[in-house]
Structure 1
Amino acid sequence: MRRGEFLDPHLVTVYDAECPWGRDDDFFLSVANESPRARVLDLGCGTGRLTLALAAAGHTVTGVDPARASLDAARAKPAADRVTWIEGTSRVLPDRAFDVAVLTSHVAQEIRADDKWARTLADLRRALVPDGRLAFDSRDPAARRWERWNPRDSRRRLALPDGRVVDAWTEVTEVRDGLVSFVHHYVFPDADELLSSGTLRFRTEEELRASLAAAGFTVDRIHGGWGGEPVGTSADGEFVVLARAQD
């Protein structure tokens, strides 16, 4: 049965098991903490892993996501009342309401069409105060990480909170014009298999820089990994982008 990974409550639980706190969360939290008690936007907040940590660090946090099942899971977590949760996209953002905005877990790659990406950046520029900070991650296409998304290299076992173990793997179905399509397979102990398909946009560094400039952002720096490595020198295979809203 094919379902949306962030829309189905069963798969939202699997997502939480598969995506615990990591080095990327440490990085984004440290970026926000450079602005003490900031007003922080987590766009594409999902089930709230980083969102809740930002609030616990003393920031005033708003989490926005279009997937209701993910937001329901976030709202059910301890201390969720510290966060303002909003179901929607960048279109719902108020003007000049945030000091820092983050898009994590490769949310930027979920925005595939160039016009929608441009609209998202324009909305973020509108929502940030002048000189407000934007941070996001996007996989470096030169690293070709999707080549590891095959039934052998991607196979993993996920332990759920109720004790069940799910067997999972990923397979790529198409690579074309900067887009990589794939299917996640999740096999539950009762042999029920759920499928979650998706497509991600892999933008080059030049494309990211051009789109940010067009939206009114100045790029401070782009790292190639979570340790601050130059692009192309880290096994992480990332673009970790830090930019500022122009006055």
Structure 2
Amino acid sequence: MPDPLFADPRLAPLHDLFEDPDRPDLAPYEARAVGAGRVLDVGCGTGVLAARLARRGVDVVGADPAAASLRVARARGVDVRWLQLPAADLPALDADLALMTGNVAQVFTTDAGWDAALAGVARALRPGGRFVFETRRPAARDWENWSTAPQHRDVAGTGHVTKRSELLDVTGALVSFRDTFDLAGTVVVSESTLRFRDLPELEESLHRRGFTVQDVGQAPDRPGLELVVEATSAPARRRGQPT
């Protein structure tokens, strides 16, 4: 189940308000989509990236399990095919490119969950299609900066909103944190856990699902903290090629 931050209809519309409105982290993904026939945004959330791509004339499919987030995405009024389903249930879409931004790759805290997500992405891609995702580097220990001072926004229809973030626990590769929202006197809490996988673990998991890693680079907006991995799905088998 998605965390309340994305699934609670009171919180999902607030997500973008506490992000950088320019979203410099998304520009590199827009550049990667140039020339792609169909792009799949896995874990599209409120649809910021999918909408930006659609406005550029890209054929986009946005998939997310959280109905509240997709409600915000659909309200953008762009030509995107929105699918309410988890990555593991993705259908065959013949996509040229699948993107997974933000913390999406890390919400899969079990090996089985991550493997099922990769299987879904592989199914959605055309043979030889590209899969690009970002993931935080465990060695950077960025979670040590997750407890932050309160942030404040005035929200139409809600009033004054305060958001507080705090680190809860670090156990092995699992990092848990809490976001607390004060919605003009109504307190709503969302607790989340992310899994930090190192690069060898990621490469092995991709290989098991038939992906070939083509490139590993730094996230331009977060150098040293996040990696961007590009892999290709298995190519189509030629007639007579053994299975």
Normalised by the size of structure 1, how large is the TM-score?
0.87
Residue identity opposite 1:11 in structure 2: L
**Which one is further off, 158-167 or 203-212?**
158-167
Determine the structure 2 residue equivalent to 1:239. Answer: 227
Q: Which residue among 68, 90, 102 is the counterpart of 1:105?
A: 102
- Is 1:215 aligned with 2:209? yes
Q: d(CA) in 1 for partners of 2:155 and 2:89? A: 33
CA RMSD in angstroms comes to: 1.9
Contact 1:179 1:201 in 2 (8 A): yes
Equivalent position amino acid for 1:241 in 2? V
Q: Of the candidates 159, 168, 189, which is equivalent to residue 164 of structure 1?
A: 159
Matched with 1:14 is 14
Equivalent residue number for residue 238 of structure 2: none
Shift of residue 165 of structure 1? 3.5
> For residue 42 of structure 1, what is the aligned residue in structure 2?
41
Match of 1:204 in 2: 198
Aligned to 1:51: 50
Q: How does 1:113-128 map to 2 (within 5 A)?
A: 113-128=110-125
Asked whether the 8 Å contact 1:131–1:245 carries over to 2, the reply is yes
- After superposition, the C-alpha distances for 1:39-60 in whole angstroms (9 at most, x for unaligned) are 1111111110001111111111
Which residue is equivalent to 2:70?
71
**Cα distance in 2, alignment partners of residues 159 and 129 from structure 1:** 44
* Runs of at least 5 residues in structure 1 that lack an aligned partner in the other structure: none
Maintained 8 Å contact 1:21/1:49: no
Contact 1:13 1:160 in 2 (8 A): no
TM-score normalised per structure 2:
0.89
Q: How does 1:133-148 map to 2 (within 5 A)?
A: 133-148=130-145
User: 1:93 and 1:145 mapped to 2: Cα distance?
Assistant: 31
Deviation at 1:205, TM superposition (A): 1.1
Equivalent residue, structure 2, for 1:32: 33
Number of equivalenced pairs: 232
Residue 24 of structure 2 corresponds to 23
Distance of 2:11 and 2:213 partners within structure 1: 36
154 and 117 in structure 1: CA distance in 2 versus 1, 3 angstrom threshold: farther
